Amino acid sequence: MNSTPEEEQNAAEENRPETENESISRREMLKLTAIAGTGVVLGMSGMATLMSLKRADPGPGSGMSATKPQADSGDVIPFYGPQQAGIVTPQQPYVCFAAFDILHQDAGQLLKLLQEWSAASALMTAGKPLREGGNVTSPPADTGETKGLSPSNLTLTFGFGPTLFQNNGEDRFGLASEQPAELSDIPTMPGDRLNPQWSGGDIGVQACADDPAVAFHAIRNLAKASKGTAVIRWVQNGYIGAPDGQTPRNLFGFKDGTANRELDSDAARSQHVWVSSSYTPAWMANGTYLVARKIRMFLEPWDRATLAEQEITFGRLKESGAPFGKKNEFDPASLSQFPASSHVWLARSAGTKMLRRAYSYVDGIDAGTGEWDAGLFFISFQRSVKQQFIPMLSLLAKLDALNKFTSHVSSAVFACPPGAGEGGFVGETLFRSGNR
């Protein structure tokens, strides 16, 4: 009642352990807050702009943290490099994937956002908190919920959607001439039940980590940094349950992604994953295309199917993941050894390879049916959507025995540029391309 907001703020500030006269200021502050009650709280945010009580700058990199996250604990995947991380990186068990829409048509603001995002990504993947200022009268730069956690092998992978280049024929940022010819929405397939609200997006960001708290924290802080420039269009969380280094099982209980082993070598990745330096547009060299499909899996009817039906539908033995008549998951088998029309038979029939990086999702119970709203958040990386992903999808959409138990409910495609060099930013090659 008798105190001004400035006095209350001073009291709060002085009362922190950094100050010398701890006991006096604490008592003072408590008296003040007791008098003012919630009024202190309500008045505080407006007041912050009036105040200039800086804390000592803790120096670059140390952020606002006394006991630093264990950035030296070994579970750091470098953000900077010729190619983006999170693509051929061994799959971390958790994903938080967000698609953002840009709110305006200001190419300068977009460029600034990409720069800020890259700088923030470099800090977060190194396990360091974001920082700006560092006094109590500012909102904390970092939301803080992962303080004390290890970097958890966090990767952040960025991609540009078709609408970033042109939306309803409009060249929003002067980037239309740089749009790759094959960067467009995946054609709707028979059986697709795509929800436009969960599909597409101007920019896709895949956050993967060993801890879901770390993956979410990264997306949350990128969203916070984008305020006024971008909004989240959709988000999908997911996980894999896999013993270290083994092929994950999907929610149908089958090992899913066995074929990834064919892409273990650099040579195979150059052939199937990475865009080559002779590609047009040139800014995509060392980049790749990301396809995301949310595939709902109807767990209840699946769980009522016999083991024989499940195995003939999927195309492998459930327990071992082996081809029919074989003992082990990686035992060689020719195409004709898989049941016709099975999922694996068709995927192999398509003859195209891609790097799968799918996650299971459980979004609770479908309020309409009372059944599980769960399935596979399919992510794949390939150097060509048209030559690799679409032929396979078309074949599967037409013939896959698994379709009886699944429904594609979202679709998105993003052109992932190459990685950024130290101090650079992801998307630099696009913004600095010769045509601009």
Candidates 139-147, 167-175, 178-186, 377-385: pick the segment binding its own copies (CB under 8 A).
Answer: 139-147
Give the whole-angstrom CA distance, residue 127 versus residue 268. 32
Amino acid in position 326: K
Q: How far is residue 148's CA from residue 236's CA, in Å, rounded to a whole number? A: 25
| Residue 252 lies near its own copies (rule: CB under 8 A) | yes
Residue 5 beta carbon to its own copies: minimum distance, rounded to whole angstroms: 11
213 binds its own copies, rule: CB under 8 A = yes
Burial class, 206, CB count within 10 angstroms (exposed 0-12 / middle 13-18 / buried 19+) = buried
Q: Within 103-132, which residues bind its own copies (CB under 8 A)? A: none
- Whose CA is closest to 115, among 430, 414, 425? 425
Binding mask 177-206 for its own copies (x = CB under 8 A): --------------------x---------
Interstrand relation of 155-160 and 355-356 (parallel, antiparallel or unpaired): unpaired
How far apart are CB 75 and its own copies at their closest, in Å? Answer: 13
Question: Which one of residues 259, 305, 395, 409 is an interface residue with its own copies (CB under 8 A)?
Answer: 305
Interface with its own copies, residue 50, by CB under 8 A: no
Which one of 159-167, 312-320, 375-383, 427-435 is the stretch in contact with its own copies (CB under 8 A)? 312-320
Residue closest to 203 by CA, chosen among 418, 412, 420? 412
Give the nearer residue to its own copies in terms of CB position, either 73 or 387: 73
- Provide the 10 A C-beta neighbour count for residue 304: 8
CB of 94 to its own copies, least distance (A): 8
Distance separating alpha carbons of residues 197 and 203, to the nearest angstrom = 14
Interface stretch with its own copies, choices 78-86, 286-294, 398-406, 418-426 (CB under 8 A): 398-406
Q: How far apart are CA 24 and CA 264, in angstroms?
A: 64
Q: Does 224 bind its own copies (CB under 8 A)?
A: yes
Name which position in 26, 259, 395, 409 contacts its own copies (CB under 8 A): 26
Q: Does 378 bind its own copies (CB under 8 A)?
A: no
**231 φ/ψ angles, rounded to the nearest 5 degrees:** -130, 155
| Residue nearer to its own copies on the CB measure, 251 or 354 | 251
Question: Could you give the CA distance from residue 315 to residue 342 in angstroms, rounded to a whole number?
Answer: 5
Q: Does 153 bind its own copies (CB under 8 A)?
A: no
- Which span sits near its own copies by CB under 8 A: 14-22, 162-170, 285-293, 385-393? 14-22
Taking a C-beta distance cutoff of 8 angstroms, is the pair 69, 148 a contact? yes
377 binding its own copies? (CB under 8 A)? no
In this structure, the number of other CB atoms found within 10 A of the CB of residue 47 comes to: 16
Element at 26 (helix H, strand E): helix 22-36
Four-CA torsion 149, 155, 156, 158, nearest 10 degrees? -170
**3-state DSSP assignment of residue 256:** coil
In angstroms, how far is CA 212 from the centroid of its own chain?
A: 11
Question: Looking at 80-88, 247-255, 265-273, 286-294, which segment touches its own copies (CB under 8 A)?
Answer: 247-255
- Say whether residue 329 binds its own copies (CB under 8 A): no
Q: Which residue in this structure is represented by tokens 């992978």? A: 157
As a whole number of angstroms, the distance between CA 323 and CA 327 comes to 8
What sections of 197-336 are H helices per DSSP? 212-225, 266-272, 299-304, 307-314
Rg of the chain over all Cα atoms, to the nearest angstrom = 25
CB closer to its own copies, 256 vs 428: 256
The least CB distance from residue 1 to its own copies, in Å, is: 13
Stretch that binds its own copies, among 148-156, 158-166, 183-191, 379-387 (CB under 8 A): 148-156
Q: Are 80 and 157 in contact (CB under 8 A)?
A: no
How far apart (Å, rounded) are the C-alpha atoms in residues 321 and 344?
11
Least gap, CB of 418 to its own copies (angstroms): 29
Determine the interface stretch with its own copies among 183-191, 242-250, 261-269, 423-431 (rule: CB under 8 A).
242-250
Bridge partners (DSSP) listed for residue 406: 297
Q: Which of residues 55-84 bind its own copies (CB under 8 A)?
A: 64-66
Q: Which is nearer to its own copies, 121 or 360 (CB)?
A: 360
Establish if 136 lies at the interface with its own copies (CB under 8 A): yes
The one segment of 182-190, 232-240, 279-287, 377-385 that binds its own copies by CB under 8 A: 232-240
Nearest distance, CB of residue 24 and its own copies, angstroms: 10
Binding residue count for its own copies, defined by CB under 8 A = 108
Q: Which of 318, 391, 424, 433 binds its own copies (CB under 8 A)?
A: 318
